[in-house]
Amino acid sequence: MQHLDPDHHDGTSDATPGGERDKRRPGELLFAMALTGASLFLLFDAWGIENAFGPNGLSSPRAIPLAATAAMLISALLVTVKTLRLPLDRTETVMKDILPVTVILFAALLIAYGVLLRPLGFLPTSALFLIVAIKVLARRGWFWTIGISLGSLVVIWLIFRIVFSVLMPSGVVPEAEFIQFFRNLTAGGGA
Amino acid sequence: MGSLMDFLTVFTQPQLLALVGVGTFAGVYVGAIPGLSVTMAVSILISFTFSWDVYPAISLMIGIYMGGVYGGSRTAILLNIPGAPSAIATALDGYPMAKRGEAGTAIGVTTVMSFIGGFIGIGVLALAAPMVSDFALRFQPRDYMLLAILGILLVGSLSQGSLVKGIFAGALGIAIGAVGRDPLTFTERFTFDLQLMEGGISFIAVMIGMFGVSEALLQLHHVDKAAVRQKISRVVPSIATVKKHLPLSVQTSTIGVVIGALPGTGGDIAALMAYDHAKRVTKDPERPFGEGAMEGLVAPETANNAAVGGAFIPMMTLGIPGDAVTAIMIGALFIHGLNPGPMLMIDKPDMFWFIVGCLVMANFFMLLFGLTGIRLFTKIVEMPRSVLIPLIMLLSIVGAYAVNNSVSDVYWMLGFGVFGYFMRHYGYPLGPVILGVILSRLLDDNWRRAIITEREDLGLFFKGVFASPLSTVLLVAVILIFVSQTPIWARAKAKLLNRKERVQ
């Protein structure tokens, strides 16, 4: 079977194989070494799993974790060696192709979302997140940004709350009372 | 008779029917919009349909699955961007057709062929699954173990990329699945004495992180890529066209079902293999392959939709997923208290026939939505990524939070999202991770059962393996996958090929 990659290693498609075939991407070696280190650590940890009910034999709870982490270590080592042999792709840089500022910013935004979710509640946190994110990405006027953000948030909230009955932390917004108000309203109107 | 009634359940309940319809409709768009994948959609949906009954939840997911596998072809044809991995091969001939102004014909043929392929897949599922499950009752624990390993390895080796990276990903998945208290002895594994880790890592958080957030982060690189407009003419293909390609479509559907039914391999691989097959058997295409050959559309599209039915066979009968999406569906069934495997077919045959019914319905809806609504479609696909990406991230967070109402799941999800982002960049396949997580428990349980019955003696274990033809075949298959990736195999192949060329 031929290797099919109609120019999509640039990430325009969902089917994204990483990088050029015979070149090492910036940071790839570091990643492989980090995986090797992590595998080694996990292997040690797996070795420490003790069977409370008998010998640490082939059927003990440590068997599969040990086998899995050993497989991880061996494959990570092989990958590291293979990566080491490839020439570095000089056309790419970490800042441009692997970890641009936007990605770091969004990772930070997502973490901020997790931190704020409980104290602030779903609606305000999501509104803030969407406004900042869309503003950064689309670089359009505030009016457009806020309109699109709040509009899509309302749609999402309605779908979740009504169709899927997902309960998100309400935080500072009295969500339940709000819904009850409308329920009463419609019930009153219907009766 | 009972199975017929179960099969008809979905047709008699308007609510379920509507859910399949909505699912298929959504699936077509999810599959078509680059940056949204079916795997992503189904993994996010699990957490949302968590509070529903099994039937409606499954109806929705099946609709999305069926529609999504088809939907990827749309953008492949119109924009040369496969909306889903299973549509990579479709772009090769679909886009040249569109450039020639035949986008309508291409979409029409794709739709009808997907429909035919889908039906062949479902037919095989309905016929084969009961037989396979009867057979599966005789499986030994070691066979399950070998099947699980085979599944994880197949995903790693057949997807594009290196097997070593695939093995790493699969092993990582197994390790992630082992986190928490061991179900047999209650021993803590990989918990680092943290209470947080005792319950294990929620596999939904892993899934949404890997397929949702990492994808969204990757798409950040391409915010500014503008969509290209194509003119679309007549969509419904003529009967003559369909008739002409019927023999090929039956062949490629067969490839699709078989590949789909292999544990671990799904529509993307089936489509590529079918494309390869079409290239070999089509003697005189009207246009050469790669420049808009109709056969180049027929083959991958029948195959990837046939693979859907195929993928359900191992999932329903063995509890071993046929591809990443069915892996997630297994998770969904677990959440709803069902245990996929041979006993499911015996205890709850209604579930099986209900799923078959849903698939049939989804296939019809796919045909309907495929041949209509092209205008609306072009509008939706042009939705700017600057809005789409933040929305996907929001959905991912809500999805991860909703299952256990826990913020720590959100952090797990984000962690795996960032990790998956790097894995994608450096060419590590993500499919094996998910398969590993899902199959970890099955692998662990069956290995221990197998080795305990052999009194912890590896010699006896292998004696048992070689005493049973099935186990032997499975073991040989596992070994072959390894050998096929080593230099020895490449050398042997080169030698064989050389000899062939000399004969010619």
Question: B481 and B360: one domain?
Answer: no
Per-residue pLDDT of chain B (504 residues; tens, 9 = 90+): 577 777 777 778 888 889 999 999 988 888 777 667 777 788 778 777 877 888 888 899 899 988 888 888 887 787 776 767 778 788 888 888 887 878 888 888 889 999 999 999 999 999 988 888 888 888 888 888 888 888 888 776 665 567 888 889 989 999 998 898 887 777 888 888 787 788 788 878 888 888 788 888 888 877 766 555 556 666 677 778 788 888 888 899 999 998 888 877 777 788 888 888 888 888 777 888 878 888 888 899 999 899 989 988 888 888 888 777 888 888 888 888 888 888 888 888 888 888 999 999 999 999 988 888 777 776 766 677 788 889 888 888 888 887 778 888 889 999 999 999 998 888 888 878 888 888 888 888 888 888 888 888 888 888 888 888 888 888 988 888 777 766 666 677 677 666 555 544
B188: helix, strand or coil = strand
> At CA B444, angle to CA B439 and CA B448, rounded to 5?
150
Give 3-state DSSP helix, strand, coil % of chain A, rounded to 5.
Answer: 65, 0, 35
Burial class from Cβ neighbours inside 10 Å (0-12, 13-18, 19+) for residue A76 reads buried
What is the overall mean pLDDT for chain A? 80
Interface probe with B: pick from A5, A7, A12, A13, most Cβ of B within 10 Å: A13
Q: With contacts defined as CB-CB under 8 Å, which chain B residues touch A69? A: 171, 175
Find the DSSP H helices in B237-294. 239-261, 267-281
In Å, how far from its chain's centre is CA B319? Answer: 14
Which one-letter amino acid corresponds to residue A33?
Answer: M
Number of domains in chain B: 2
A189 C-beta neighbours (distance < 10 Å), count: 7
- Decide if pLDDT at A16 tops 50: no
Q: Which pLDDT score is estimated for B201?
A: 86
- Nearest chain A residue to B145 by CA: give it: A64
B486 and B407 co-located in one domain? no
CA A103 from centroid of its chain's CA atoms: 11
Structural Rg of chain B based on CA atoms:
22
* pLDDT for B209: 87
Indicate if B483 and B426 belong to the same structural domain: no
Interface test with A, best of B221, B265, B409 (most A CBs within 10 A): B221
C-beta atoms of A17 and B407 within 8 A: no
The amino acid occupying position B225 is: K
Task: Choose among A6, A10, A152: nearest Cβ to B92.
Answer: A6
**B29 & B150 share domain:** yes
Which residue in the set A64, A103, A118 is minimally distant from B178, CB to CB? A64
Chain B CB within 8 Å of residue A21 CB: no
Question: Between A17, A35, A59, which is nearest B456 by CB?
Answer: A59
Is the CB of residue A86 less than 8 Å from the CB of residue A21? Answer: no
State how far the Cα of B52 lies from the Cα of B57, in Å rounded to an integer. Answer: 6
Query: Quick one: pLDDT at residue B221?
Result: 79
Distance CA B197, CA B199 (A): 6
Residues B402 and B484 in one domain: no
- pLDDT in the model for residue B124: 92
Nearest to B182 among A25, A42, A61 (CB): A61
Same-domain pairing of B129 and B235: yes
Tell me if A49 and B88 make a contact (CB, 8 A cut-off).
no
Do B38 and B64 meet the contact criterion of CB atoms below 8 Å apart? yes
Pair (B446, B470) in one structural domain? no
B288/B386 same-domain check:
yes
* DSSP codes of every residue in A77-132: HHHHHHHHHSPB-TT--IIIIIS-HHHHHHHHHHHHHHHHHHHH-HHHHHHHHHHH
pLDDT at A42: 92
What CA–CA distance (Å, rounded) separates B359 from B368?
Answer: 14
For residues B356 and B472, membership in a common domain is answered with no
Nearest CB partner across the interface for B164, out of A2, A79, A156:
A79
Strand partners, B181: B188
Amino acid A7: pLDDT: 36
pLDDT value for B436? 87
Which positions in chain A touch B64 (Cβ < 8 Å)?
A: none
Supply the pLDDT for residue B115. 92
CA B288 → CA B92, B282, B311, distances in Å? Answer: 11, 10, 32
Phi and psi at residue B189, in whole multiples of 5°? -130, 130
Q: How many helices (H) and strands (E) does chain B have?
A: 24, 2
Domain span at B484 = 459-504
pLDDT score of B503: 47
Q: How far apart are CA B302 and CA B270, in angstroms?
A: 9
User: Would you mind telling me the total number of residues written for chain B in this entry?
Assistant: 504
| Nearest chain A Cα distance for residue B169, angstroms | 8
pLDDT digits (tens, 9 = 90+) for A37-67: 999 999 998 888 887 777 777 888 888 899 9
pLDDT at B416: 93
Contacts of residue A6, Cβ cutoff 8 Å, sequence gap at least 6: B80, B88, B91, B92
B51 to A78: CB separation less than 8 angstroms, yes or no: no
Q: pLDDT-based confidence at A20, cuts 50/70/90?
A: low
**Cα atoms in the 13 Å half-sphere on the side-chain side of A127:** 10
Q: State the amino acid at position A34 in one-letter form.
A: A
- Classify residue B155 as left (phi > 0), alpha (psi -120 to 50) or beta: alpha
A 1-20 near B (Cβ less than 8 A)? 1-6, 8, 10-19
Residues B414, B489 share a domain = no
Q: Which residues of B touch A168 (CB under 8 A)?
A: 398, 401-402
Distance CA B148, CA B170 (A): 11
Q: Mutate one of A3, A8, A12, A14 to test the B interface: name it (highest B CB count within 10 A).
A: A14
d(Cα B453, Cα B447) in Å, to the nearest integer? 10
Nearest-Cα residue of chain A relative to residue B409:
A114
Is residue B52 classed as helix, strand or coil in its secondary structure? Answer: coil
pLDDT for position A4: 41
Helix axes B38-48 and B324-335, enclosed angle (nearest 10): 0
Same domain? B28 vs B44: yes
User: Kind of pairing, strands B180-181 and B188-189?
Assistant: antiparallel
Q: Do B365 and B472 share a domain, yes or no?
A: no
